[in-house]
Structure 1
Amino acid sequence: MQNKDLKKLFLLAILFGYASFSFSEKLPDPMKLNVAIEKDAPPYVDNRAERGLEVDVILKSLPGYSITFLQMEWGYIPDAMNKGIANAEANAIKHEDPNKYYYSNYYIGFVNYAISHKGKGYIIDSVEDLVGHDLIVWKNAHLVLGPEFKRLFSPGAPSRKNYVEAQDSKNQVLDFWKNPDSVIIIDKSIFTNFSIIEGHSMDKVDIHKIFLPVTKFKMAFKEEKPRDDFNKGLALLCSKGVYAKLLEEYGVPKKANVCP
């Protein structure tokens, strides 16, 4: 009887092991994330997404995950999960079906300014003063730059006549320097980095004291668990002062801090 019982236990162990193996084979690895992120835009994303403030915040908020960054133009990021290319998106703007994905807390902020070419004498003290200028912005900027900007520059608005949406931060800055009549709306740190790289001096521009909101972005995830893990990790970065130190390390203004 004892031998029979041992044989039964042995068979059950084999069957259980086989079932567990088969089940695990069918499930995706929850620790792997393919994150759609913008092309290099130092100091936020740099060196092919190997470093930068945004890259560091994502990596440090998800220490238990294996993360692969997939760089693409802004316009392609919102479709990355829908097309099955990625299972997470940086700089998420809500999709048409927001209930389809899981959105994190705000994790990154950009401090925006209106910048023009020195000597033009443009008077830009309000959002309304931007009307009529050759305005260079990023994809879907009208959704995150405040209600007045949205009213004036949404698709179909008459004020959008000379409005250009660049494909990425680098092209946005290049387009500005190619057009001496243009005005660019952009994070000052990004503008300064790309301008210096391209050999342009900040002495050649006017930075206008127009009030523009800090544009804050969330991550979007295909699954709920990595979103929850990200929020927990981000909260730790904030509570331990790591987030503030990263801002200082990358030379980003304190105003960009998203921590409560």
Structure 2
Amino acid sequence: MSLKVISSLSLFFLLLCLIFPSHSKELKVAISHDAPPYIIDHAQSGLEVDIILQSLPGHTVSFLQMGWAEIQGAIAHGIADAETNVLGQNGKIYYSNNYIGFVNSAISKKKDNIKIEKISDLAGHHIIAWQGAHSDLGTQFAALFHPGKPLHKYYVEIGDSRKQVQEFWRRDNSVAIIDRAIFSYLSNKQGHTMDEVDIHRIFDPVSKFKMAFKEEAIRDAFNRGLSRLCETGTYASLLKKYKVSQEASICE
């Protein structure tokens, strides 16, 4: 093939790219620090990571990791195109269907012999939760531990799940408010087992979260992709792969 023909073909393909540009774009997604099995190895894998990637097969996704409290606001501050783990709020952004569910519980050490049957029983104990939990866990929990409430001095929120679990094992008479799968995974990594703890199911069985998007079209594409994961059984398979209870499913 002559150089003239090659040059002509190159020009032809260049013109095609200009006339029909790729609709794929990099999508910057604000996500929490590692919280296995949901987010693993700096957001390279994990249940939540896989759900997002497989729901947006036509997009190049890059994850921006930050504390739980910093995620909501990442779009407004111009650093991300999408936010994970939102409950929904007013604003000029677009909310997806529920895409992830967490099975949150109060967890205490058996040796501390703490009796917890309802949210009010948390009073008097050192409570360790994730950033923003005082707004995520309902009005009764907020009435006890929201900033400015008397019990807030016994309450701490930590943006990194690893540090949250470390603080729980370090401190006596503490109660961790956390997803059971995250707690089990990180506790095992830190040399502990679930036989050492009591699980107190005082919250709604599953806390379900949405994603927020800057663009409506991408939100719609995400919802369609998420529906496909449910319809094909892929969502259930991902739960099984990462050893997360099927009760955490958002598929109906």
1:90 alignment partner in structure 2: 84
1:55 alignment partner in structure 2: 49
Which residue of 60, 72, 77 corresponds with 1:78?
72
With structure 1 as the length reference, what TM-score do the two structures score?
0.85
1:37 alignment partner in structure 2: 31
1:65 maps onto 2:66 in alignment: no
Q: Percent identity?
A: 52
* Distance in 1 separating the partners of 2:125 and 2:170: 15
SS of equivalent to 1:220: strand
2:247 alignment partner in structure 1: 255
* Distance in 1 separating the partners of 2:164 and 2:93: 29
* Distance in 2 separating the partners of 1:156 and 1:213: 28
1:152 alignment partner in structure 2: 144
1:177 maps onto 2:169 in alignment: yes
* CA RMSD, 1 decimal: 2.1
1:165 alignment partner in structure 2: 157
Contact 2:32–2:67 (Cα < 8 Å) also in 1: yes
C-alpha spacing 1:74/1:209, structure 2 compared with 1 (3 Å): closer
1:103 maps onto 2:95 in alignment: yes
Which residue of 200, 210, 225 corresponds with 1:208?
200
Contact 1:134–1:162 (Cα < 8 Å) also in 2: yes
Q: What stretches of structure 2 of length at least 5 have no aligned partner? A: 1-14
SS of equivalent to 1:114: strand
With structure 2 as the length reference, what TM-score do the two structures score?
0.87
* Distance in 1 separating the partners of 2:88 and 2:147: 17
* Distance in 2 separating the partners of 1:113 and 1:250: 19
SS of equivalent to 2:202: coil
Q: Deviations over 1:184-243 (max 9, x none)?
A: 010011001111111122222222243444111111111111100000100111111111
- How many residue pairs were aligned? 237
Deviation at 1:150? 2.4
Deviation at 1:93? 4.3
Whose radius of gyration is greater, 1 or 2? 1
1:193 maps onto 2:185 in alignment: yes
Q: What stretches of structure 1 of length at least 5 have no aligned partner? A: 1-16
* Distance in 2 separating the partners of 1:171 and 1:252: 21
Contact 1:104–1:227 (Cα < 8 Å) also in 2: yes
